Structure 1
Amino acid sequence: MRFWKKSMLSVLTVILSVSLAACGTAKPAAEGTTAGENTSAGANTANPLAGKKIALIMQINLGTFSAQYIEGVKEQVEKLGGKVTVTPADGDLAKMSSNLDAAINQKVDGILIDHGTAEALEAGVRKAIERKIPVVAFDGDINVPGVTVLQQDDAKMAEATLERLASDIGGKGNIVKIWVAGFAPMERRQIAYKAFQDKYKDIKEVAAFGAASQNTALDTQAQMEAILKKYPNKGDIAAVWASWDEFAKGAARAIQQAGRTEIKVYGIDMSDEDLQMIQDPNSPWIASSAVDPKDIGRIQVRYLYQKLHGDQTPDKVVLEPVFVARDQLPKEQISTAQLSEHVKGWGNSQQGYTDWLKAAETPAAK
C-alpha cells in the first residue's frame, strides 16, 4: 500500500512539472509585440542595446569623403542591431540646430554630430544631455560636459603635407593656399600653416582662396583657372596646398586641364576618388594626409554605444592620420580598402572597440 502511494505521488509530480513547463512556453506576448517578436528578442540577449535609434546630424554632406564616413557610421550601427537616420544641413548652421532639436524631440536613443559650431549647437546638445540622450561629435567645436568629441590630428595632417611640399620645391617658391574659415578642423590646420610660413621664409603665398558650397570642387576649379591665367608662366607657381580634399580635386583638375602639371598639389583627407586621382601619373595631386573616413564613422559609433552601455568615455578622442604619397602606391588602381597593404597604419582601426562591443555585434555582421 505504501509502495502504491509513493508511485502515485511520483506520477502526479511528473504530470504537474510537464503542465508548468507547457504554461511557460505559452507565455503571453508583451503588450505591443507578437509572440514571434518575443522569441527573436530572447535570441538577441547577447546585445541588450539592439534596436537603438541613432541620429546623425551633419553640417554638410559633400563629396566622397562624407559618403564613406556615412558608410562607416551605418556599418557599425547596423552591426550592433541599430538604425541610423542621416540629416545633413547643406552648410546651414541654423538648419543644423533645427535638425538637432528635431532628433531630440523624436526621442532618439543617441546622437552623432558631424562638424558644426558651439554657437549653433551647444544649447541643443545640453538639452540632449539633460534628457539622457548621449552625444558624440566629430570635428565639432562643442565643449559640453558628458560629450565626447572626436577630431583628426589636424596639426599633424597639415604639417605632414606642408613639409613634403617644402621638401619637393627645395624650400623656396610661390604657392597657393586653398582654405576656408568657420570649421574647427580648418582653424587647427591654419595654425599649422602659420607655423610653416614662419619656418620657410623663402616660400611665398601668392594667392589664397576657398569656400564651402554644394559645388566646392567645381567652384575651386574655376577659381584656380583664374589664378593660372594671372600667373601664366612656368615657375610662377611651384605648388598648391589644399586643406580639404574637395579643394584638392578642383585645383588638380584646373592645373591638369591647363597643362601646368609642373605645379604639384598637396591635400588633406582621402577617399576612393581622391586615391584614384593621386595614383594617376598625369594628375598634379601627389600626396595627402588623412584618416580613413569609414574608420572615423565606425569609431564615433563605438563611443556612442559605450555611452549607451554606461561606460566612461573620454572628453576628447584624437584620431591619428596617415601620410599617403604617390611614390608609396602601386601602378595598378587600388581602393582605400586595399590601401593598408601599401601604407602602414591605414584603416581597420580598433580604437574604441571594446570586447563587449565585439560580442554584441549581430551574428550576421560577424
Structure 2
Amino acid sequence: MHLSGSENSRRRRGLLMGVAAASMLVAGSGAASAAANCIQGDREAPYTIGWANIYSVPTWMKQTEGTIAAEVEELKKAGLVDDLMITDAQGNAQTQIQHIQSMIDANVDAIVVIAGSSNALDRVISDACDKGIAVVNFDSLVNTDKVTAKINTDSGEWGAAAAQWMVDQLGGEGKIIVMNGPAGISVSDDRRKGAQPVLDANPGIEILTETNTEYNVAPAQEAMTSLLFANPEIDGVLSLGGALSAGSVLAFDRQGRDQVPTTGENARQFLELWKEKGLEGWATMQPNWLGALSVYAAVQALEGKDVPAFIKVPLPVIGDDTIDGYLARADQFPADGYIYSDYDRALFDKLLAQ
C-alpha cells in the first residue's frame, strides 16, 4: 500500500484524527438510524468498506488510496470499521462493474468509488443503493443520483478559471493547444466543458488541436512532442491536468522551444518545472484527500448522520504568489506525486455541514 507524505506529517495528522475519531465513537455507537440516502437495514459498526478503484497506476490514484487507507486505520481505532476491501479495475469500466457487484454480493456496508464511466456504472451503483449500502462517489462521477453522496470540486469552474487565465495572459489573441485527460471520464470532460464558454466568448483564441491522454507525464510528453513538430507557432497550453502540464513543459524544453503560458494542477513535477523554467503558470488542485473524506462521509451516513447529497470542495488557486508555499512541502510527497493541502476532521465536518 502506498502512503504519501512525510512520517512526521502523517503522525501529526493521525493524532488529530485519532482524537476526533475517539469522540465520534462515543457519540455514534449502536445501530444506525438512517438519515442519508441508500442507508437501510440493521447495519452496525464496525463496518466493512469497499474501495472500487478504477485504476491504481497513476501516482495521483496511489496517493488517494493512501489517504483512504489512513482514514480507515483511524476509524478502526475508533471501532467504526473492521475491514477495507480494495479492487483495481485497471482502467476497465466493465471490470469495475464486476468488482462492485462482488462487493454487493459480499454485503459490504459502504462502497467508495471513482467511476471509470459516467453512465456505464449507473445500474450497479443503483443496485448497491437499493440494497441499503452506503455509496459515496468522488472525483469522476456517475450520472445516477442513487448514491449516498457525491464529493467533488467543481470541474466546470476548474476549466473556466484556467481558460480565463489563459485568455488574460494572451490578451485575448493567440494559438493554443488544449490538453485533456481520458475521454469519457467525467472530471476530464467536465473541465473541458467548463472552459468552452470562455473560449467561445474570446474568438481571438484559436485552438490548434486537442489531446486526450492518461494523467501521466510520459504519454502527455509524447503527445506534445508530436504536436510541436506539427505546429511551429504555439502561444499557450491550456492543460487541464497536472501531469499533462509537466509532460508539456518537458516536451517544449527537449525540443528547444521557448516555454509558453501553461495551466495545470498541483503535480509536484509541474510546480518544480514552473519555478525552474520561470514559467508563466496557473494551477489548482483536486485534493487526494477526497478519498479520505469519502470514507468518513460513508461512515457518518452509516452512523445515522444526515450527509449532503453533494459535497462541494473549494478550488484553491496556485500562482506566483502561492507556489513557494507548495514547493516548501515538496519533499513530503513523491517526485511524481501531487502536493496536496493538509486535512483533518475539523475540515471534513465543515464540508459535511454545507
> TM-score, normalised to structure 2's length?
0.75
Structure 1, unpaired ranges of 5+: 1-43, 340-344, 355-366
Label 1:126 to 1:141 Cα distance change in 2 as closer, same or farther (>3 A).
Answer: closer
Higher CA-based Rg: 1
Alpha carbons 1:58, 1:88 under 8 Å: kept:
yes
Paired AA for residue 168 in structure 1:
Q
TM-align CA RMSD: 3.0
Cα offset, 1:127, TM superposition: 2.3
Cα offset, 1:283, TM superposition: 6.8
Structure 2, unpaired ranges of 5+: 1-23, 30-43, 334-339
Within-5 A mapping of 1:211-226: 211-212=213-214, 216-226=216-226
Corresponding residue for 2:55? 60
Count of matched residue positions in the alignment of Structure 1 and Structure 2: 300
Corresponding residue for 1:297? 291
Per-residue Cα deviation, 1:272-299 (whole angstroms, up to 9, x for no partner): 4444344x322757321113222x1222
Cα offset, 1:320, TM superposition: 1.0
Instruction: Give the stretch that moved more between structures: 184-193 or 172-181.
Output: 184-193
Label 1:330 to 1:352 Cα distance change in 2 as closer, same or farther (>3 A).
Answer: closer
- What CA distance in whole angstroms lies between the structure 2 residues aligned with 1:188 and 1:45? 38
Corresponding residue for 1:90? 90
- What CA distance in whole angstroms lies between the structure 2 residues aligned with 1:208 and 1:118? 21
> Identity of aligned pairs, percent?
18
Label 1:331 to 1:151 Cα distance change in 2 as closer, same or farther (>3 A).
Answer: closer
Cα offset, 1:248, TM superposition: 1.6
Instruction: Give the stretch that moved more between structures: 46-55 or 64-73.
Output: 46-55
Paired AA for residue 163 in structure 1:
Q
Q: Secondary structure at the match of 1:186?
A: helix
- What CA distance in whole angstroms lies between the structure 2 residues aligned with 1:177 and 1:198? 14
Per-residue Cα deviation, 1:149-194 (whole angstroms, up to 9, x for no partner): 1121112211222222222222211100012420112222122221
- What CA distance in whole angstroms lies between the structure 1 residues aligned with 2:297 and 2:86? 18
Label 1:336 to 1:318 Cα distance change in 2 as closer, same or farther (>3 A).
Answer: farther
Corresponding residue for 1:111? 111
Per-residue Cα deviation, 1:340-366 (whole angstroms, up to 9, x for no partner): xxxxx9543645427xxxxxxxxxxxx
Label 1:239 to 1:45 Cα distance change in 2 as closer, same or farther (>3 A).
Answer: closer
Label 1:126 to 1:275 Cα distance change in 2 as closer, same or farther (>3 A).
Answer: same
Cα offset, 1:220, TM superposition: 1.8
Alpha carbons 2:125, 2:147 under 8 Å: kept:
no
Alpha carbons 1:125, 1:144 under 8 Å: kept:
no
> TM-score, normalised to structure 1's length?
0.73
Q: Secondary structure at the match of 1:325?
A: coil
Cα offset, 1:137, TM superposition: 0.4
- What CA distance in whole angstroms lies between the structure 2 residues aligned with 1:210 and 1:93? 18
Corresponding residue for 2:143? 142
Corresponding residue for 2:159? 158
**Please, which of 187, 190, 203 is the counterpart of residue 188 of structure 1?**
190
**Please, which of 245, 248, 252 is the counterpart of residue 248 of structure 1?**
245
Alpha carbons 2:158, 2:194 under 8 Å: kept:
no
